[in-house]
């Protein structure tokens, strides 16, 4: 089955891409890897008259370590991200989460920028990047702006990227010294599915084994990926006892606002959030 | 129409295709290379897998325009002068084929695995083939065939 006929623009710079989007305002849609957009078009859910493919913009590709931070071009594939030496050594949480997305032939094509702009509530990279307090850069007709990822997801499949804008890069600051981290996901059906729920956490324990810093983020737990701030508060300053971990898991389940769909009901998701937050925290103790 | 110059199975290739064609449309309908199959059309089943610069991709999801300047390997490019390559021979010896519809994708995913990991464990093989569905459910012999090809001469 063929895709519907559309025109294709292949800009070679970010300003050119922004200009094309402005010129075809309302008709054009950005395509990165296409692993989400192409199936959506095949299902007939979207039918853009023109695609603006970013695959020929060199400025959008590549991973660069910039001092203590990591700069990831939006068109970087999840496969390239997960096998990058600096990512594996210094941002293992991000590499791990990227490696859990779908299957090898999807990760080779799917991009980090595309994953974030698609704004799937059960994204694997998003909870990891929320824990790492990443920022994204967005280019538009009036220049570039930075958006903290915490404010990027604005609703169900919606982001802060305005019409005519393009996400250009993701900047990930260094993780706190001595931090442990992990990502776990639960797939009730098959391992290559998007998860029912995904849980990322980053944890720093002090010399007395009390929680000095903790960040917990959830996928599939709300209309967007979220930080679980109440679960974090339940742990701060405390030793990681079984009771503290259970309390944090209860808090995460309580603050989640999950949706019901074919994969699972809201009540089931809430229960799985409790289970998997607990399992992840136990593994980091 | 857009013009695509790329390397196909080791040889230069140039073809004009409509802008909305995928790489799979280009291979099957533009070049009559029907070894690469159309299965689900949404990147799940894996039978349209080809290698793009050595990496497995779903040709049903990749726009034809993205092939420009790159090297594509399809199942038609595996044999050496008409002789089956190591993986094809191992699949034949192990009987790792039932209806055959998934086989092109299996071969190419396996080839990408062996290029980056010449001595994979069984778990490595299963993870590399996780995105290739065999609805005859003949996975065991497929995994054995890949392991045999890895260990073979």
Residue range A126-138: mean pLDDT, rounded = 98
Q: pLDDT tens digits for B8-54?
A: 999 999 999 999 999 999 999 999 999 999 999 999 999 999 999 99
d(CA A112, CA A118) in angstroms, rounded, equals 10
On whether the CB atoms of residues B71 and B53 are closer than 8 A, the answer is: yes
- CATH 3.40.50.150 holds for A7-53: no
- The DSSP secondary-structure symbol of A207 reads T
Q: Which residues of B touch A192 (CB under 8 A)?
A: 44, 130-131
Contact A147, A136 (CB under 8 A): yes
Contact predicate A109/B57, CB 8 Å: yes
Give the separation between CA A214 and CA A168, rounded to whole angstroms: 29
CA dist B61 → A51, A239, B9, B21, B41 (Å): 14, 48, 20, 10, 7
How far is A6 from A51, CA to CA, in rounded Å?
7
Taking all residues of chain B, what is their mean pLDDT, rounded to a whole number?
96
How high is the pLDDT of residue A168?
98
CATH topology of domain B86-151: DNA polymerase; domain 1 (1.10.150)
Considering chain A, what is the average pLDDT of its residues? 97
User: Per-domain residue ranges for chain A?
Assistant: 7-53, 58-172, 180-283
Task: State residue A33's pLDDT score.
Answer: 98
Q: Is the dihedral of CA A154, A160, A161, A163 positive or negative?
A: positive
Can you tell me the mean pLDDT for A136-141? 97
Tokens of A61: 């590709």
Topology (CATH level 3) of domain A58-172:
3.30.465
pLDDT (0 to 100) of residue B151 = 86
Contact status, residue A162 vs residue A140, Cβ threshold 8 Å:
yes
Sign of CA dihedral A43, A44, A45, A48: positive
Topology adopted by domain A180-283: Enolase-like; domain 1 (3.30.390)
CATH superfamily of the domain spanning B2-77: Beta-grasp domain (3.10.20.30)
pLDDT in tens, A199-211: 999 999 999 999 9
Domain coordinates in residue numbering, chain B: 2-77, 86-151
pLDDT at residue A135 tops 60: yes
Q: What mean pLDDT is predicted for residues B112-121?
A: 97
- Residue A206 pLDDT: 93
Q: Which residue of A lies nearest to B60 if distances are taken between CA atoms? A: A38
Our CA-based measurement puts residue A187 at a distance from the nearest CA of chain B, in whole angstroms, of 14
What's the confidence (pLDDT) of residue B153?
53
Asked if B2 is an interface residue toward chain A (Cβ–Cβ < 8 A), one would say: yes
Which contiguous run of DSSP H or E holds residue A168?
A: strand A166-172
ipTM: 0.95
Q: Is the dihedral of CA A83, B59, B67, B91 positive or negative?
A: positive
Residue A157's alpha-carbon distances to A39, A181, B47, B54, B71, in angstroms, are 15, 27, 29, 33, 34
Q: Do B46 and A103 touch (CB under 8 A)?
A: yes
Q: Which helix (H) or strand (E) holds B16?
A: strand B11-17
Tell me the pTM: 0.96
């Amino acid at each position: 089955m063929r895709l519907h006929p559309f025109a294709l623009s292949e800009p070679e710079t970010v300003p050119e891409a922004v200009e094309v989007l402005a010129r075809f305002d309302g008709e054009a849609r950005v395509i990165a890897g296409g692993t989400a957009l192409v199936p959506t078009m095949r299902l007939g859910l979207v039918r853009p008259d023109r695609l603006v493919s970013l695959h020929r913009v060199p400025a959008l590709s590549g991973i660069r370590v910039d001092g203590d931070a990591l700069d990831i071009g939006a068109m970087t594939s999840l496969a390239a991200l997960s096998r990058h030496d600096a990512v594996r050594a210094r941002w293992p949480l991000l590499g791990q989460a990227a490696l859990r997305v779908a299957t090898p032939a999807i990760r080779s094509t799917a991009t980090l920028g595309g994953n974030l702009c698609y704004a799937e509530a059960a994204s694997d990279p998003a909870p990891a990047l929320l824990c790492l307090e990443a920022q994204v850069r967005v280019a538009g007709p009036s220049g570039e702006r930075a958006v903290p990822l915490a404010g990027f997801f604005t609703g169900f499949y919606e982001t802060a990227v305005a019409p005519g804008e393009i996400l250009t890069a993701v900047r990930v600051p260094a993780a706190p010294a001595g931090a442990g981290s992990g990502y776990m996901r639960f797939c009730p059906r098959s391992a290559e599915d998007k998860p029912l729920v995904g849980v990322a956490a980053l944890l720093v324990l002090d010399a007395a084994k009390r929680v000095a810093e903790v960040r917990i983020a959830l996928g599939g737990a709300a209309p967007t990926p979220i930080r679980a701030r109440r679960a974090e508060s339940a742990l701060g300053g405390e030793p990681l006892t079984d009771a503290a971990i259970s309390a944090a898991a209860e808090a995460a389940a309580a603050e989640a606002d999950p949706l019901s769909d074919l994969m699972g009901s809201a009540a089931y998701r809430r229960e799985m959030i409790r289970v998997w937050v607990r399992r992840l925290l136990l593994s980091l103790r | 129409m857009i013009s695509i110059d790329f390397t196909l199975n080791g040889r230069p290739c140039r073809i004009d295709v409509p802008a909305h064609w995928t790489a799979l449309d280009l291979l099957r309908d533009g070049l009559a290379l029907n070894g690469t199959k159309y299965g689900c059309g949404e990147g799940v089943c894996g039978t349209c897998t080809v290698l793009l610069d050595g990496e497995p991709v779903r040709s049903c999801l990749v726009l034809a325009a993205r092939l420009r300047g790159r090297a594509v390997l399809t199942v038609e490019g595996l044999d050496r002068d008409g002789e089956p390559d190591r993986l094809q021979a191992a699949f034949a010896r192990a009987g790792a084929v039932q209806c055959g519809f998934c086989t092109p994708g299996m071969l190419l995913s396996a080839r990408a695995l062996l290029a980056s990991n010449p001595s994979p464990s069984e778990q490595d093989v299963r993870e590399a083939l996780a995105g290739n569905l065999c609805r005859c459910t003949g996975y065991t012999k497929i995994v054995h065939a890949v392991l045999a090809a890895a260990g073979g001469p």
